[in-house]
Amino acid sequence: MTDDDRPYYRRDLALVHHLGFGFHADACAPGILRLLEPIRERDGLVLEFGCGSGLLTRHLVEAGHRVIATDASPAMLELAREVVPDAEEIRRIVLPDDPLPEADAIVSVGHVLNYLPDEDALDRALVAAARALRPGGVLAIDLCDLHYVEARADRRPLAVVEENWALFTRFSTPEPNVFVREMTTFVRTDDGSWRRDDERHDNVLVQVSEKPAILEREGLTARAERSFGDETLPEGLFVISASRPEA
């Protein structure tokens, strides 16, 4: 995610995402929790990338995990502190260069690494994650593949309108490996008027099948899969799962 003066997921889009788009975390949580069962049994520490407003974090904490939840968006972190006050720690980390704490598991949903500026940054984030993973640890994240664009080639603009918020999204593909969402949010204020904001999110797309090799060079056993568990992911979204052998 970006680290400029206008980061991804500012106040209004963060709120809209929290209120209207928790279904992905809810769908992925059961599979992730099964992968993390050995970590919970030994009271291991889970590091979450791109925690957003804490939609997955909440599932992890309720299942008994100790979690360091991280995100690059200050607005998302503010929401997460309200949603999951029992998390071990909630703090800002900007990938790929901020130092990472050692952890027994690293998880992420919402194709967080695809928000990095280019494939080199994404690869460096994978290396950093591998090096932060302790012996016996597991890693499970989702990534958007190059096929993500093909599956959405004819996608029309999307409008979601609720009582107190609305989201309008336009899609484009300026390059074969870049998928763009231009989003306009409207949020009802206390006086009944509507506040507007606009964000553009650029996602770098990669050949996901090539990424396990990066983790394997760091001593992990890794593979690309179609899901975390029994859920059905959107077309073009894949899971990288990996583990580090016991010392």
Going from N- to C-terminal start, the domains of the chain cover 11-146+206-243, 148-204
Q: Is 148-204 a domain of CATH 3.30.70.100?
A: no
With CA atoms as reference, report the closest residue to 34 among 238, 220, 239, 218. 239
pLDDT in tens, 87-98: 999 999 999 999
Alpha-carbon distances, residue 205 vs 31, 140, 167, 200 (angstroms): 24, 18, 24, 16
- Report the chain (247 residues): mean pLDDT per 10 consecutive residues: 63 98 97 97 96 98 98 98 97 97 98 98 98 98 94 86 97 94 97 97 98 98 98 96 94
Q: The tokens of 146 are what?
A: 């190059």
Structurally, at CATH architecture level, domain 11-146+206-243 sits in: 3-Layer(aba) Sandwich (3.40)
With CA atoms as reference, report the closest residue to 86 among 55, 62, 53, 50. 62
pTM above 0.85, yes or no: yes
Give the Cα separation of 84 and 82 in Å (integer). 6
